[in-house]
Chains A and B, each alone.
Chain A
Amino acid sequence: MITAVKTEFERIGRSVRSVFWGRRAQKAKLLVIGRNVSDGLIAKLIIYLLLSIVAYLYLQPILYMVSTMFKTMSDLLDPTVKWIPREVTWENVTKAIKGLQYPEALRNTSLIAVTCSLVQVVVCAMTGYALARLSVPFKGLITALIILTFLIPPQVIIIPLYVIFSKMGLLNSLFVFLIPAIFGQGLKGALFILIFRQFFRSQPPSLEEAAKLDGASTARLFFGIMLPLARSACLVVFLFSFIWYWNMYYEPSMFLAKGFTPLSIRLDMLEEVLNPTLLGNTRTITNPITEGTKMAAAFLIILPPILIFMLLQRWFVSGIERTGIVE
């Protein structure tokens, strides 16, 4: 009797175990926990959750920007209205367009960003190629100097630069940024040179050898083969350069204060434009009345680069992976 019960229990136990440890259960377990950490459902859920939380924190200021720019005056002053405005108004946007002198400032900023970035791609690629493949005297020293130019804070050299530019008659024009870019000293140019140097180094030399055997000159080899080959690196450099030129503030605040004013400077002056009575140090004052307009202005400024980034995003991320920037 007892042994019969025992065997019965054992059989139940075995069947229970087989439910948990059977092949199908194994499969389910694999699905939930996974072979690698990243394969399982649990891990995926956790990743989604964490990323979404952080993404929310990341996006919160942008959401704040968008929601504030559509608020009416009464909504701005009412602390109970936090995210969703009671009625949507376009007044802030029109005010911001007027206050920024948007069409003109947009033209200036895009002219600077596009021309300087294009020039920078070509010049930095040339310099990077020379450092990677051609024989240049004192190569080590030059590389060290390039890194030095990257490290020097702009504040150290801004005053002498101002004097030099004013002697050359470049101030308050596009050329104050274009001329340095032509000579390889554009915004963060050192970084781009190093990126290109890294890229050209990682290419197999056989291509160049073949071209040389066919009698191509170095210039032809570079512009005909190497530069097109470096398409992904070019795109990465162009986009970074474009964004940094678009957003730069310190240099134009010195060099473009009296003409050819870009968007970033106009944003800085917006408070004074909106509130002519507030003289003096307006930068530290938060004024709830002008907040909507300022947020609209900020949004108008970041809109073009965001659109461009969205268009090129696919190529951009894969470009960075393929460039071998980090090696």
Chain B
Amino acid sequence: MNAKARRRVERLYQGKKYGVGLLFMLPWIIGFCLFVAIPIGWSLFMTFNKVQVSVGGFKYEWIGMRNYRDAFLKDNVFPIELITYFQEMLLMVPIIVIFALLISLMLNQKFPGRFIYRALFFLPVIFATGQVLSELFLQGAGDIPFLEQYNLLPIVEEYVGAQFAGTVMDILGKAVLILWYSGVQILIFIAGFQTISPTIYEAVRIDGASPWDSFWKITLPACVPFISLNVLYTIIDLFTFPLNPVLAHVRDNMFKVDTGYGYASALAWIYFAFIFVLIALVLWLFNRSLKTRRAHS
């Protein structure tokens, strides 16, 4: 067989290979175009327009960047809510991730009855999304009991300053519900611990390392990828937090006559841009720490 024929056979083979792969991907590709790409383009287009609902459909009036400018200059709710929510989120993400890490460390130990506890800690995932959660929150079921018994506000104010005290108190008030958001994260950590080989622990114990040392020197470094995964998951999860004031504001503006879909879409895009920057930052930080760690070892 000469080279030409061989190349032709190879190309045929390649085409066949790609064909099967594409066939498997086809549903997703169609779905992406129809239900993601078109809506994204459309919604981006809307943000540059004043959109009005008329009988036959939408009426567009090109106004350029005005929706974006209005969001920061005219709207006296949106920027404040955005900033407050980001403050809250920056506090909530570490709380959730650290809490999940501690709980999963404990659940990873061998003790009788741990299956029951594992099931218990996953339980909130079942209803920590959606309406049941906001209903419970509305009834004040998520309060920590000691918060009312001891007047904590002055203490908090003393330590973190008056302007952040409100945020901190808000979060303390939601504490139980926030902790409910750590079900998936706990699972990810537990699954992550299984990837660390037990022989390493054995080896360092023989070398005389205390459990304290082996946590800081082995468990924690091995967990960095899972921590980053959990941070990302938590950020994305908090997007759709049912008590999220920013999203409520977006929804309100959708059905107002003077603002409409165009403005609401612009708000959603600004929100998305902020989150996107945050996620990119987290990814960059963790990638860098992983790289330096690899360089050291």
Q: How far is the CB of A127 from chain B (nearest CB, A)?
A: 5
With A and B bound together, what is the CA distance between A54 and B140 in angstroms? 18
Interface pair B30/A183, CB less than 8 Å apart: yes
List the B side residues contacting A238 at CB < 8 Å: none
Is A90 located at the chain interface by the 8 A CB criterion? Answer: no
A23 is an interface residue with CB less than 8 A from chain B: no
Q: Tell me the smallest distance from the CB of A31 to a CB of chain B, in Å.
A: 14
Closest to B129 in A: A247
B139 within 8 A of A: yes
The answer to the question of B272 belonging to the interface, with a C-beta cut-off of 8 Å to chain A, is yes
A123 to B24 alpha-carbon distance, docked (Å) = 9
Q: By the criterion CB–CB under 8 Å, are A136 and B25 in contact?
A: yes
Provide the bound-state CA to CA distance between A192 and B138, in Å: 32
How long is the Cα–Cα vector from A129 to B23 in the complex, in angstroms? 12
If A268-B131, A305-B126 touch, whether A314 touches B115 (CB-CB below 8 Å) is yes
Report how far A180 CA is from B188 CA in the complex, Å: 27
Give chain B nearest CB distance to A68 CB in angstroms.
Answer: 8
B192: shortest Cβ distance to chain A, in Å?
A: 5
Q: Chain B residue with minimal CB distance to A47? A: B106
CB–CB B22/A136 < 8 A: yes
B279: which A residues are within 8 A, CB to CB? 151
Say if the beta carbon of B76 comes within 8 Å of chain A: no
Are B275 and A298 neighbours in the complex by a CB distance under 8 Å? no
Which single residue of chain A is at the shortest CB-CB distance from B42? A160
Distance, CA A296 to CA B127, complexed state (A): 14
A265 to B130, CA, bound (A): 10
Whole-angstrom CA separation of A318 from B192 in the bound complex: 13
In the complex, what residues of A have CB within 8 A of residue B119's CB? 309-310, 313, 317
Query: In the complex, what residue of chain A is closest to B183 when comparing beta carbons?
Result: A58
Q: Is the Cβ of B265 less than 8 Å from the Cβ of A61?
A: no
- Shortest distance in angstroms between A293's beta carbon and chain B's nearest beta carbon? 11
Nearest-neighbour CB distance to chain A for B279, whole angstroms, equals 7
B107 close to A184 (CB less than 8 A): no
The answer to whether B18 and A135 have CB atoms under 8 Å apart is yes
Interface assignment of B239: CB less than 8 Å from any CB of chain A: yes
When the two chains form the complex, which single residue of B25, B226, B247 contacts A155, counting CB atoms closer than 8 Å? B247
B120–A59 touching, CB < 8 Å = yes
List which B94-146 residues lie within 8 A (CB) of chain A.
103, 106-107, 109-111, 115, 117-127, 129-132, 135-136, 138-142, 144
Which residues on A sit within 8 Å (CB–CB) of B59? none
Contact A302 B126 (CB under 8 A): yes
> A4 interface residue, CB < 8 Å from B?
no
- Are B272 and A184 in contact (CB-based, < 8 A)? no
Q: Point out which of A59, A64, A151 has the most chain B C-beta atoms below 10 A from its C-beta.
A: A151
What residues of B have a CB within 8 angstroms of the CB of A135 in the complex? 14, 17-18, 21
User: Contacts of B250 on A, CB cut-off 8 Å?
Assistant: 155
Q: Is A243 part of the contact surface with B, judged by Cβ < 8 Å? A: yes
Complex contact B271–A65 (CB within 8 A): no
From B20, B32, B38, contact of A145 by CB (8 A)? B32
Say if the beta carbon of B268 comes within 8 Å of chain A: yes
Binary A-proximity of B1-34 (CB < 8 A = 1, otherwise 0): 0000000000000100110111011011111101
**One of A5-13, A14-22, A33-41, A272-280 at the interface:** A33-41
* Residue among B38, B135, B141, B177 facing the most chain A CB atoms (10 A cut-off): B135
Q: Are A153 and B118 interface neighbours, CB within 8 A?
A: no
15 more A-B contacts (CB under 8 A) besides A51-B106, A134-B17? A55-B120, A58-B180, A68-B139, A137-B18, A156-B43, A156-B272, A159-B46, A185-B31, A222-B24, A243-B129, A286-B140, A306-B126, A317-B122, A321-B194, A326-B195
Give 27 pairs: A residue, B residue, CB < 8 Å, sorted on A. A47-B111, A59-B123, A61-B176, A64-B139, A131-B25, A136-B25, A153-B268, A155-B268, A155-B271, A157-B36, A157-B42, A159-B265, A163-B57, A182-B31, A185-B36, A244-B129, A247-B126, A264-B131, A267-B131, A286-B140, A306-B126, A313-B122, A317-B115, A320-B191, A324-B195, A325-B191, A326-B191
A-B pairs, 5 with minimum CB distance: A183-B31, A184-B28, A134-B21, A130-B24, A157-B39
